[in-house]
Amino acid sequence: MEIWETIREILANKVVIFPLVAYFTAQILKLVLRALGYPSRKEHPFLLESGGMPSAHTAVVTALVLTVGASCADGVRSGLFGVSVVFAAIVIYDAIYVRGRADRQAVVLNKIVDLFPKLKRDKFKRLKTQEGHTYLEIAGGVVWGIILTLFLLWVT
């Protein structure tokens, strides 16, 4: 019986639930924006793939920061809030810069593999290429994370 109580407590934890809601709604919002004509770098975007408008990663960490700030007794002066801000900064930096650089490396490595004779080329799996987020996509994730979290805090 104790395990079910633990699961109930986790599901009642806003710091866990609000960022998850931000992730899934941001992914759905990507599909809606694509259907409304917002340009996408993907031919057929999949609901759980990364990249695109808005940045789901950014929406998640924004929701996390706001929820932690609102939930802690010390608010924005708490250590946990500080940790969540640093974590958010790392995730956003990664979404913009690191993934973009990794994508450029994957493109180059795929071109090198294409130069191999056909016999050896089949032994190498092509690397998936994924561009980093644009500043607009990051801003969209921040805005979505703020709007959604403020709404969730208001209704709960």
pLDDT, residue 130, reads: 66
Mind listing the pLDDT tens digit for each residue in 101-149?
A: 667 777 777 777 777 776 666 667 776 666 667 889 999 999 999 999 9
Please, which pLDDT band fits residue 47 given cuts at 50, 70 and 90? low
Half-sphere exposure of 15 (CA within 13 A, CB side): 10
Q: Where are the alpha helices (DSSP H) in 40-134?
A: 56-71, 79-93, 99-115, 118-121
What average pLDDT does the segment 43-61 reach?
77
User: Which residue in 48, 32, 145, 37 sits closest to 91, CA to CA?
Assistant: 145
Ordered by start, the domain boundaries in the chain are 2-37+48-155
Mind listing the pLDDT tens digit for each residue in 53-108?
A: 899 999 999 999 999 999 988 988 999 999 999 999 999 998 888 766 667 777 77
The pTM of the full predicted model, rounded to 2 decimals, is 0.80
By mean pLDDT, which of 8-17, 38-47, 58-67, 83-92 is the weakest?
Answer: 38-47
What sign for the dihedral angle of Cα 56, 61, 65, 68?
A: positive
Q: How many residues does the chain have?
A: 156
Assigned token pair, 115: 């130069």
Model confidence at 35: pLDDT above 70: yes
